[in-house]
Amino acid sequence: MGWRRPPLLLWCLFLLLSSAASLSRAATRHHEWEISYQFRSPDCARKLAVTINGQTPGPTIRATQGDTVVVRVKNSLLTENVAIHWHGIRQHGSPWSDGTEGVTQCPVLPGDTFTYTFAVDRPGTYMYHAHYGMQRSAGLNGLIVVEAAAGGPDAEPFEYDGEHAVLLNDWWHASTYEQAAGLASVPMVWVGEPQSLLINGRGRFANCSAVAAAGGACNASLPECAPPVFAVVPGKTYRFRVASVTSLSALNFEIEGHQMTVVEADGHYVKPFVVKNLNIYSGETYSVLIKADQDPNRNYWLASNVVSRKPGTPTGTAVLSYYGGRSSPRRPPPTTPPTGPSWNDTMYRFRQSVATVAHQAHIQTPPPRADRTVLLLNTQNRINGAIKWALNNVSFTLPHTPYLVAMKSGLLAAFDQRPPPETYAHQGYDIYGVQKNQNATASDGLYRLQFGSVVDVVLQNANMLAPNSSETHPWHLHGHDFWVLGYGIGRFDPAVHPASYNLKDPILKNTVAVHPYGWTALRFKADNPGVWAFHCHIEAHFFMGMGIVFEEGVERVGKLPKEIMGCGMTKGH
């Protein structure tokens, strides 16, 4: 902070030197992962989890900008396939490593090993997680931390003395199979709110003692579910990298007694702003700075609270503890944990969204206008009695032959060749009412984008099937970051609202919230050859059809590795 942009010439020199330096230092980071089921007790209750090398969350991948990350994934599940997505990594030149089953690859069979290789070309906080069925919330997830190349142009425009990483999650005791089968049932059987909120894979199931008394497998004194402790040195400034991999929950994250300065979002530097607590949606990452300037002789809560849905899950907690203070790190703070803002205070969260703009020294100006605009009405619908989510009344289904392979191989029958609708009848549409036409069609058609074109997408939220209800949807785009041009509450009017877009300093993100009854406008350049999913990051919503897929420049994609093939129409390819 307080860092000022140097004159242009100096910049160029700097750029040259630093890219040379970072090139010379570029490393390849190898990881060997084995995916298997293990009994874990993240919230003290024993549950079967999909683990990486026995852990959930999996190991944090640490790398430096310019490095190449190689992850050899051995699938040691008994009967299940896997695929792993590197969330926030744009996969320039490696679209087959995006890990999106049905889009960029066939799933990896039990016994098979699949190698993901990708460059981390930008510093920041990212994550990885399964992108197949509902394995993400079964436990297959973790963090990616990419350091800026030292002294390079992407060096942080802020200073700090130490850093901590915080991965937020929600957790059910029912299996993800049960959740998925319930979602697909007619009538739908909802798994219910999560039992626990996890911080770095740890939580406290509220009814543990009752379960244990009834002979169930819950043990509140397991070290495995002891609250994580984040230690700080008095007077120092810390960067907290915060990521949310929740299946369902929008969260509010607070460090009791410590203001946060938001400095990074989805790998982009933010014009710093100060909050008491941070709203974070599934698929988002932030970095916040805190100053360890409070009484060091007591501990403080880290708290994760559900917002946007009426909470049915207790606060997730961890402990902030000062080195040298008189309080044991393991001692619970003397206070009750923060409960966050009102869960239904949409405007509180809306304001944080709007406040998140690019750091003035790191503005990447968006193209002034779009070549094409896709307006997507987000609604809940019914297909054959089953509840689905739909965009412009089309509910997305994944094809069984990955698009990337199908399109490169000319397998036209692999998916619906009709493009999904670009817009909906927005004139006079009542987004606050229950949709009159609740029918939707299922389709695996995709949007083909002209390579290099500029695309606007406006996501329009609306009322769900039940009256007076509208949820927050965090939409995540693969293969790109997008500029967040604007947010609104109410119906988006293409003739009016684009005039208010922020074209000056919009933040680049890969995941963005669409608030209840609101709209969000974003812009990206279709310049990354490949096929890219764009979907609500709530796992159940994507499962129920809340997504679309973009293709751009697929003809420019090089020879596909055969490892991504072998399913659907590419069986025996």
Write out the binding residues for its own copies, residues 17-76 only, by CB under 8 A: 37-39, 48
Q: Which is nearer to its own copies, 69 or 134 (CB)?
A: 134
Asked whether position 182 contacts its own copies by CB under 8 A, the answer is yes
Geometric angle at alpha carbon 406, from 404 and 410, rounded to 5°: 125
- Among the listed ranges 7-15, 78-86, 194-202, 409-417, the one in contact with its own copies (CB under 8 A) is 78-86
Out of 107, 139, 157, 518, the only residue in the binding site for its own copies (CB under 8 A) is 107
Q: Which is nearer to its own copies, 207 or 453 (CB)?
A: 207
Q: Which is nearer to its own copies, 73 or 567 (CB)?
A: 567
For residue 207, the minimal CB distance to its own copies (Å) is 11
- Among the listed ranges 9-17, 109-117, 362-370, 512-520, the one in contact with its own copies (CB under 8 A) is 109-117
Asked whether position 504 contacts its own copies by CB under 8 A, the answer is no
> What is the x/- site pattern for its own copies, positions 392-411, by CB under 8 A?
--------x-----------
Asked whether position 565 contacts its own copies by CB under 8 A, the answer is yes
The residues near 525 (Cβ < 8 Å, ≥ 6 apart) are: 367, 452, 453, 454, 455, 480
Burial of 404 (0-12, 13-18, 19+ CB in 10 A): buried
Q: Are strands 547-552 and 482-489 parallel, antiparallel or unpaired?
A: unpaired
What is the torsional sign of CA 415, 417, 420, 422? positive
Asked whether position 499 contacts its own copies by CB under 8 A, the answer is no
> What is the x/- site pattern for its own copies, positions 199-238, by CB under 8 A?
---------------x------------------------
Q: Which is nearer to its own copies, 37 or 451 (CB)?
A: 37
Out of 26, 180, 355, 554, the only residue in the binding site for its own copies (CB under 8 A) is 180
Out of 178, 293, 505, 527, the only residue in the binding site for its own copies (CB under 8 A) is 178
How far the first Cα of the chain sits from its last, in Å, is: 54
Long-range contacts of 541-545 (CB under 8 A, 24+ apart): 541/389, 541/473, 542/396, 543/133, 543/134, 543/180, 543/183, 544/183, 544/387, 544/388, 544/389, 544/395, 545/388, 545/389, 545/390, 545/395, 545/396, 545/397, 545/440, 545/442
Q: Residue 338: which H helix or E strand, with range?
A: none
Asked whether position 413 contacts its own copies by CB under 8 A, the answer is no
> What is the x/- site pattern for its own copies, positions 436-465, by CB under 8 A?
------------------------------
Q: How far are the Cα atoms of 73, 115, 144, 246, 566 from residue 81, in angstroms, in the given order?
A: 11, 14, 23, 21, 13
Q: Which is nearer to its own copies, 178 or 505 (CB)?
A: 178
User: Which two three-digit tokens encode residue 132?
Assistant: 């197949």
CA distance 307 to 282: 12
Out of 185, 335, 364, 469, the only residue in the binding site for its own copies (CB under 8 A) is 185
Q: Which is nearer to its own copies, 83 or 302 (CB)?
A: 83
Q: Which is nearer to its own copies, 182 or 341 (CB)?
A: 182
User: Strands (DSSP E) along 356-468, which ranges?
Assistant: 372-383, 386-391, 394-396, 441-443, 447-449, 454-460
For residue 175, the minimal CB distance to its own copies (Å) is 6
Strand order across the 300-307 sheet: 229-232, 316-322, 300-307, 250-255, 277-280
- Among the listed ranges 257-265, 268-276, 447-455, 563-571, the one in contact with its own copies (CB under 8 A) is 563-571
Residue showing tokens 């790109």: 480
Q: Which is nearer to its own copies, 108 or 531 (CB)?
A: 108
Q: Is 508 helix (H, G, I), strand (E, B) or coil?
A: strand
Out of 31, 34, 110, 453, the only residue in the binding site for its own copies (CB under 8 A) is 110
Out of 5, 330, 418, 571, the only residue in the binding site for its own copies (CB under 8 A) is 571
CA 483 to chain centre: 16
CA distance 431 to 468: 10
Total length of the chain: 573
Q: Which is nearer to its own copies, 134 or 522 (CB)?
A: 134
Q: Which is nearer to its own copies, 504 or 571 (CB)?
A: 571
Q: Residue type for 285, please?
A: T
For residue 542, the minimal CB distance to its own copies (Å) is 12
With contacts defined by CB under 8 A, how many residues of the chain interact with its own copies?
38
Asked whether position 96 contacts its own copies by CB under 8 A, the answer is no
Write out the binding residues for its own copies, residues 132-151 only, by CB under 8 A: 132-135
Q: Is 228 helix (H, G, I), strand (E, B) or coil?
A: coil
Residue 562, phi then psi, degrees to nearest 5 = -70, -15
Asked whether position 416 contacts its own copies by CB under 8 A, the answer is no
Asked whether position 181 contacts its own copies by CB under 8 A, the answer is yes
Asked whether position 568 contacts its own copies by CB under 8 A, the answer is yes
Q: Residue 43: which H helix or E strand, with range?
A: none
Q: How far are the Cα atoms of 107, 134, 572 from residue 566, in angstroms, in the given order?
A: 9, 22, 6
Q: Is 473 helix (H, G, I), strand (E, B) or coil?
A: strand
**Which residues bind to its own copies, rule: CB under 8 A?**
37-39, 48, 78-82, 106-107, 109-112, 132-135, 175, 177-178, 180-182, 185, 189, 214, 400, 562-563, 565-568, 571-573
